[in-house]
Amino acid sequence: MSVLEAVREYHDELTAIRRDLHQHPELGFEEHRTSDLVAAKLAEWGIDVHRGLGGTGVVGVLRRGNGRASIGLRADMDALPILEATGHEYASNSPGRMHACGHDGHTTMLLGAARYLAEHGKFNGTVNFIFQPAEEGLGGASAMLASGLFQKFPCDAVFGMHNRPGLAVGKFIIRPGAMMAAGAFFDITVKGRGAHGARPEDSVDPVLAAAAITTALQSVVARNVTPGEAAVLSVTCLQAGNAYNVIPETAIIRGTARAYRRETMQLIEDNLQRIASHTAAGFGATAEVNFRLLFAPLVNEPAATTAIADAAALLAGDANVERNGEQVMGSEDFSFMLEALPGAYINLGNGNSAPVHNDRYDFNDDAIPFGAGLYVMLVEQSLAS
């Protein structure tokens, strides 16, 4: 019996777990029920359970033989603050919270792999099953690292996985090197002097200064980033005042920046700071910048990329594995784990679903055996007896 066929033997049970998680979504660092479920399942299958990593994180440890090699497998657990509109019978029972990115599926796939490896796994070494909180911009990976994740649970390499809507179930995409962008949010607070709208000469108009800053920021990428390198700086929010006849004292600019190298992110931050402060000063105003790097660039180590791509090919056939996929401007905080250790991150197909972070998104349960099976193949190939 193949690994895929073996996992499908308990596909119904895994689907029930996935839908239970979907029905009970929890936001970042609040995944108490989810952590309880994960810990209980791991313990049921005889896996050593460790809790409290990064707050609500869970690590399961499974050892076989006397091998000294080790591997880390990571899944994210948190949901998003979105009101679900799928209409499913297992839809979120917490209004305004929803598994709109498939972390319920990721958690279930890793549980599926843990069960198979505990019951049937043929490997020699240690597998660390890492269930991470707060992936959605709240710093869950960094919190686990700060808790001593890889000091307490050493790994030679660490691997992660994410579903991809629009890619057929049973297909995989990966690429070596930079695969996903670093991501930052920024706030620029422009301070001037308020006045009556009929007497603008009494003001230092922060709205005018903020508008000029917004326009000037478009030069950061166009005139500072080399044309051969991709980067994005987007102003997504401009807020100021609430009356027709009042020039306010403050205007706020918000937005995001993305790039595939930390050095480029630093270049963007430096130039954003320079343009904001000097442009504001030209209008007699001041600008205070808060630039926050939320995600590092996600960079796949070449050997680890080959290892997980080969495992996917053994599972689903080489024709179903794209080994040199396109780069993605989205971000993922598994990137911080990949800065700490070699490893790789792969996408698997979610079929013709709504996009992630959408109120009609749902993880495709048909993908569960492929994700769980991939992790099993990767462990058995990497930690061969």
Q: What tens digit of pLDDT does each residue of 171-199 get? A: 999 999 999 999 999 999 999 999 999 99
Asked which of 273, 295, 317 is the last residue of a domain, the reply is: 295
CA–CA distance, 109 with 107 (Å, rounded to integer)? 6
Among residues 172, 133, 170, the alpha carbon closest in space to that of 364 is found at: 170
Q: Dihedral (C-alpha) 144, 146, 151, 154: value to the nearest 10 degrees? A: 30
Say whether pTM exceeds 0.85. yes
> What is the extent of the structural domain holding 153?
3-179+297-382
pLDDT at residue number 1: 82
Residues 12 and 121 in one domain: yes
pLDDT at residue number 385: 73
147-165 pLDDT, tens digit per residue, is 999 999 999 999 999 999 9
Which residues does 357 contact at the CB level (< 8 Å), separation at least 6? 80, 82, 100, 101
Residues 142 and 206 in one domain: no
Residues 93 and 37 in one domain: yes
Which residues does 364 contact at the CB level (< 8 Å), separation at least 6? 105, 163, 169, 349, 350, 351, 353
Asked which of 234, 263, 295 is the last residue of a domain, the reply is: 295
Residues 201 and 301 in one domain: no
Residues 132 and 157 in one domain: yes
Residues 7 and 156 in one domain: yes
Residues 157 and 252 in one domain: no
Q: How many domains does the chain have?
A: 2
Position 281: which residue type?
A
234-280 pLDDT, tens digit per residue, is 999 999 999 999 999 999 999 999 999 999 999 999 999 999 999 99
Gyration radius from the chain CA atoms: 23
Residues 36 and 49 in one domain: yes
Residues 217 and 246 in one domain: yes
Residues 32 and 164 in one domain: yes
For 76, the token pair is: 């994210």
Asked which of 295, 319, 342 is the last residue of a domain, the reply is: 295
318-336 pLDDT, tens digit per residue, is 999 999 999 999 999 999 9
21-75 pLDDT, tens digit per residue, is 999 999 999 999 999 999 999 999 999 999 999 999 999 999 999 999 999 999 9
For residue 315, count other CB atoms closer than 10 A to its CB: 25
Which domain CATH number covers 85? Answer: 3.40.630.10
Which domain CATH number covers 191? Answer: 3.30.70.360
Q: What percent of the chain has pLDDT over 90?
A: 99
pLDDT band at 76 (very low <50, low <70, confident <90, very high): very high
Residues 203 and 229 in one domain: yes
Residues 77 and 125 in one domain: yes
